[in-house]
Amino acid sequence: MKTKEVDFIAQRYKKGRFSPDAGWHRLDIAPASIWRRYRVAAAVAATVILSATATILYREYHLNDVPQQAMPVVTDNPLAVVKVIDFEDTPLPEVVKRIESVYNVKIDNIPDNPDDYELSLHYEGTPADLISVINDILETQMTVIEK
């Protein structure tokens, strides 16, 4: 603030002249009573307590009564099994061995020079889809058959 503004306020200030209650009265608005403030605080507290209680009751009784929706899928077909498999700069012969052991399948049409190929891949799915992805990446013609 500039000095003129401070001087102006200092000259005109009188104790009790600038009270908030007088300002509300001049605007013809009644100030909020102390009891109204307590009622608002009580309503907020009750809402918080009821919400917390409802959450606890919902979790306690609702989740235990709902039957589980997820059921394991049992299949005898190894070509339909979904698994996760990872490769990091792995030569193709090791990739093939690992796929065959993890999925319990046989890989055919392996290229003549498999050591020339390396693969880095994180995959979750069936062996047929995995070999299809590997064929697209490495431009090979491998196939999957059951053991």
Token duo for residue 56: 């606890």
Q: Which of 74, 76, 122 is nearest to 95 (CA)?
A: 122
pTM of the model: 0.47
* pLDDT of the residue at 33: 66
Q: What is the pLDDT of residue 38?
A: 81
pLDDT value at residue 94: 92
What is the structure's pLDDT at 42? 87
List the chain pLDDT tens, one digit each, 147 residues: 567 777 777 777 767 666 666 766 777 776 566 677 788 888 889 999 999 888 887 777 665 555 555 555 555 677 777 888 888 889 999 999 999 998 889 999 999 888 889 988 888 888 999 999 999 988 899 999 887
108 beta partners: 143
pLDDT, residue 73, reads 56
Q: What angle do CA 51, 55, 59 make, to 5 degrees?
A: 170
